[in-house]
Structure 1
């Protein structure tokens, strides 16, 4: 199988699996003090430290529940990938010159 075929197969599998994802309505709240996009961004940025802390302290969570839903999720994703260095470090190419 060629590289392009593998990428297309992985993309199709990811799309198929993501079609099954849903969020329970009880975890989404529209109250004014419910975490939204900016809190999701912050929680995504501090995810590595929150996760380590959650291993030792059951009162520490890496994800706020309830939250505002999709906007919180989008902020959380951006916080992990962009602010957390995920896309920055993954895009560096080694210079073997």
Structure 2
């Protein structure tokens, strides 16, 4: 029974370390000026993120996320842009399920 407890404890420790390794840190490159990327650039970067990701696999100078941004508004715009691309298919799947249920 003690080996099982040791295994569970090890699994919990490894899980906790894995979760803390993914924690976000502060953006030390952020700027608060006219050159910082704001909401509209965040929206655009989120919208083009699938294409940018593919390009970033082959070019080192291309990144998906603008590091020099103004903080929360850029993040909000980025998430809205990403959700416009990746979040739109869920509603269509629900409608198809409802149609199949109605046909039964």
Give yes or no for TM over 0.5: yes
Shift of 1:42: 0.1
Q: Distance in 2 between matches of 1:22 and 1:57?
A: 25
* Cα displacement string for residues 36-82 of structure 1 (whole angstroms, at most 9, x for unaligned residues): 00000000000000000000111111000111011000000000002
Gaps of 5+ in 1: 1-16
CA distance in 1, matches of 2:90, 2:35: 35
Tell me how many residue pairs correspond in the alignment. 77
1:61 to 51, 55, 63: 63
Would the alpha carbon gap of residues 34 and 56 (structure 1) be closer, same or farther in structure 2, given more than 3 Å must change? same
The residue that corresponds to 2:90 in the other structure is 90
> Which residues of 2 match residues 1-97 of structure 1 at below 5 A?
21-82=23-84, 84=85, 86-92=86-92, 93=94, 94=96, 95-96=99-100, 97=103
Compute the TM-score of the two structures, normalised by the length of structure 1: 0.70
Root-mean-square deviation (CA, aligned residues, Å) is 1.8
TM-score (norm 2): 0.65
Is the contact between residue 27 and residue 67 of structure 2 (CA under 8 Å) also seen in structure 1? Answer: no
Q: Which has the larger radius of gyration?
A: 2
Moved over 6 A (4+): none
After superposition, what is the alpha-carbon deviation per residue over 1:12-58, rounded to whole angstroms, capped at 9, x for unaligned?
xxxxx7xx955424232111011000000000000000000000111
